[in-house]
Amino acid sequence: MFGALRLFFSLLVVYTHLAAGGFIGGRAVFGFYLLSGYLMTLVLQERYLFRPGPYFLNRALRLYPDYWLVAGLTLIIIIKIPEAQSFHSAYQLRNGIIDYLGNLLIFPFVVYKNGLRLVPPTWSVAIEMVHYFLLWLVVARRKGFALLALAVGAGFHAWSLANGEPPYARYYSVFASLLPFALGATLYFYSPQVQALDRKKACAIGVAGFLTFVVTGTMLYLPNVSPFVFNASVYVNLLGVLGMVAALSQFPVPKWDEWCGQLAYPVFLVHWLVGFLVSHFLNIPRGGRLYCVSLPIALVTAGVLAYSTRLVIDPMRSSVRRLVRAK
């Protein structure tokens, strides 16, 4: 039942961007990373068997078609409605070749300061792509490698905190994201212990994880939050996500959960564009009202994208998986 969790994280990102600001969306992004670390380790171990061709081809089929469609539509709108460039700093049109490559391929966003991102939150997708490679290369191959990566990620955070670096230094970089990805990979290798739990204990762990995530995330919006509480909340949130993922791995996947999972990525892609169009044509400033008006439109748009993907792209991805099983 990971689809509902992915959609929950996506909605938190939308809320942060269009309504409230703050940092709960950042906690949701780290939740995405942890869940991806677990799932990618699982599929590498049990589905793709570390065969690079099928694994990377299916990752590309998952990420690029919807992204290219949203990015192309955004480019047209930015050109036709120049006011978009004042709605988000990432909508600044530039003519550098590296900007074109970055927006075409996504992963170059990791290695340069970009002035144009047609889909603003794709910097985090670029980080995911780097970790897909690292998981395949080393992290997901053995428990010891996952634990080593976890130690390196934790060490980076400890070093950053000890040197008094600002919070964004522990959020935007590949080194910072190694911690949640490695934590998810490590969880996979302890799956036998998780599977040994009975359903009641698993439910209790999942509920406790959810409440931990929500309570510590909500605390970020209280006035005068101390730096210690703010920094500690990052790691308490991760423990909450770890509990949710561990618990949900115990349960079968219902059909509605698959649809939630298929909506999560398109919602993540379209929400800034929908928010701008709603703000522009209805004259609604960024805030709670913009979120409430934009969210249903973003969900419907995402549903159309998800249905199209199901019809056109998913059969290709299924064919790639069958090739692996045939070998």
Reply yes or no on whether the pLDDT at 280 is more than 90: yes
Question: What is the predicted pLDDT for the residue at 196?
Answer: 86
* 140 phi and psi angles, rounded to 5 deg: -85, 0
Contacts 24+ apart (CB under 8 A), 87-94: 87/275, 87/276, 87/279, 87/280, 88/120, 88/272, 88/276, 90/114, 90/115, 90/116, 90/117, 90/118, 90/120, 91/116, 91/118, 91/120, 91/276, 92/116
- What Å distances lie between residue 171 and 47, 144, 178, 317, 323, CA to CA? 30, 25, 10, 31, 37
Contacts of 23 (CB under 8 A, 6+ apart): 16, 167, 220, 230
In the structure encoding, which two tokens stand for residue 81, read together?
């409605």
Q: What is the chain's length?
A: 327
The closest of 53, 101, 93 to 74, measured between CA atoms, is: 93
The pTM of this model reads: 0.95
DSSP string, 241-269: HHHHHHHHTTS---HHHHHHHHHHHHHHH
pLDDT, average across residues 103-114: 86
Where residue 42 falls among pLDDT bands split at 50, 70, 90?
Answer: very high
Q: Pick the residue with more confidence: 166 or 22?
A: 166
* 164 phi and psi angles, rounded to 5 deg: 70, 25
Question: What is the predicted pLDDT for the residue at 326?
Answer: 61
Q: Map tokens 């099983």 to a residue.
A: 325
AA letter at 76: I
Where residue 220 falls among pLDDT bands split at 50, 70, 90?
Answer: confident
State the average pLDDT for the chain. Answer: 93
The CA dihedral of 286, 277, 90, 7, to the nearest 10 degrees, is 80
AA letter at 279: S
What pLDDT digit, counting tens, does each position of 114-128 carry? 678 999 999 999 999
What pLDDT digit, counting tens, does each position of 61-71 carry? 999 999 999 99
Where residue 12 falls among pLDDT bands split at 50, 70, 90?
Answer: very high
Where residue 129 falls among pLDDT bands split at 50, 70, 90?
Answer: very high
What pLDDT digit, counting tens, does each position of 50-102 carry? 999 999 999 999 999 999 999 999 999 999 999 998 899 899 887 778 888 88
